Every structure is written in structure tokens, then in C-alpha cells.
Amino acid sequence: VYIAIGIKPNGHKEVIYYCIAPSENIEVWTDMLQNMKSRGLKQVELFLSDGVVGMKTALARTYPKAHFQRCLVHVMRNICAKVRVDDREKIMNEFKQVHQQTNKEEATAVLHDFYTKWGKVYSHVIRSLKDIEPDLLVFYNYPKQIRASIYSTNMIESFNNVIKRKAKPKAEFPTEQSLDAFIGIQAMSYNDRYFNRIHKGFGQVQDTLESYFD
């Protein structure tokens, strides 16, 4: 199930798209973005996701002015899966410092120190990080009040957990249509719940965020 949650400059958030697809690929992501654009989503300032195949290519085709931030929580999980168990806690604590700095310059220095320290032991991990470095620190280009909300996909993970919890009592969904209807109900419930709420930090920088849009 593909899910997109959007936050407006005024801080209001909502599920703006979902669909069911058998596998994750560039064609589905392209269809998703084109669908949102055709329904009136004219401009995206920042797009945040995990490292899905084809996402940046699809985004460049549909919203060429949008910036892209890779979810740092997913990056940390990927690192964890590729290092020795004895090193995991230490590596995670050090990598977390990347998103806890005052500005992008400091974060870049921390990241490069991380490369230097672990490059010999885990050269394959560091090579992978260097390949995606342009997508790791984009959130620092935005006001500090909202950075905690835009370096990870925790918002979508939280919604996914709601869906999983509510689906658990069901033995199965007899058809794709029944699953579609179930997810639609959860999405509408989410949107009703957050209709007039301002996401943390966004109320303080609304004017700044609005200035990013045409």
C-alpha cells in the first residue's frame, strides 16, 4: 500500500493519496505523483521518503522544483543491518548526531567524521552513505522549528501502525476492494482528526513557508 501524507504551509496535514500495488517500482510512483498533480497539487517544496527505487526520478519528472530528503531513520536501520551487533549501539549513537546539529555545516562535519572513523571497518556502508549524501541533509535548509518533522517518515510510519493495528483483528480481506475501502476509512478518519490541528513547529514559521511557494 502506497501512502502520501502532505503538510501545508499553515501546518495542516492530511492523507492526500493512497493506492494498492503488487510491487514498488518507478511506474507506480510516477502514477502516484501524476495522480496528485492532476487532482490539483500544483507545487511541492519538499518530498520526504525512504530509499525507494525510482522515487527521485519520478519526482523530477512530475515536480522538478521539489527538493528531496531521504528518511534518516530508514538510513540508520539500513546501517544497523550491515554492521556487527557489537558495533550497532555505538554507530547509531554517533550517526544520530547528524540530525542534532545547529546548522548544515556542522552536520556535514559530523557526517564526514563518521566516514573517517568507520570507513576502514565498514567501507561498503560508507560508500553507500556517500552516494546518497546530497539527500541526507536537505532538511537543514528549512527553519529549525520544523526540522524534527522533516528528517524522517515517522508521520507515515505512525499512520501505518494505525492501519496495521486496526487490520489485525480481521482474518483477511476477501477482495482488493474491501481492503481499499478499509484503508479509505482510516484515511478519512485521520484527516478528520487533524483537520484543524497545526503540526508541531509549523505555526511559528507559516509566513516563511508560504514564501517558498509561487
Task: Compute mean pLDDT per 10 residues along the chain, 214 residues long, and list them.
Answer: 93 94 83 94 94 82 94 95 96 96 97 97 96 96 96 93 90 90 95 94 95 91
Q: Name the strand (E) or helix (H) holding 4.
A: strand 2-7
In a domain, 214, yes or no: no
In a domain, 148, yes or no: no
Do 17 and 65 reside in the same domain of the chain? yes
Q: Residue 211's Cα: distance from chain center in Å?
A: 22
- The residues, ordered by sequence, that sit 6+ positions from 183 with a Cβ below 8 Å of its Cβ are 1, 18, 20, 163
In a domain, 213, yes or no: no
b/e map of 99-132 (b: 16 or more CB within 10 Å)? bebeeeeebbebbeebeeebeeebeebbeebeee
C-alpha closest to that of 59 among 91, 92, 36 = 36
Residue 57 has what pLDDT?
Answer: 86
- Distance, in Å, from the CA atom of 102 to the CA atom of 78, rounded to the nearest integer, reads 25
| The total number of structural domains that make up the chain | 2
Assigned C-alpha cell, 160: 501505518
Residue 55 has what pLDDT?
Answer: 83
- Distance, in Å, from the CA atom of 45 to the CA atom of 199, rounded to the nearest integer, reads 17
In a domain, 162, yes or no: yes
Residue 18 has what pLDDT?
Answer: 93
- Distance, in Å, from the CA atom of 96 to the CA atom of 72, rounded to the nearest integer, reads 9
- Distance, in Å, from the CA atom of 130 to the CA atom of 79, rounded to the nearest integer, reads 13
In a domain, 9, yes or no: yes
Do 133 and 105 reside in the same domain of the chain? yes
pTM: 0.91
In a domain, 146, yes or no: no
Domain that holds residue 53: 2-70+153-208
Residue 165 has what pLDDT?
Answer: 92
Of the three residues 113, 140, 167, the one that is the final residue of a domain is 140
C-alpha closest to that of 128 among 68, 84, 74 = 74
- Distance, in Å, from the CA atom of 184 to the CA atom of 19, rounded to the nearest integer, reads 10
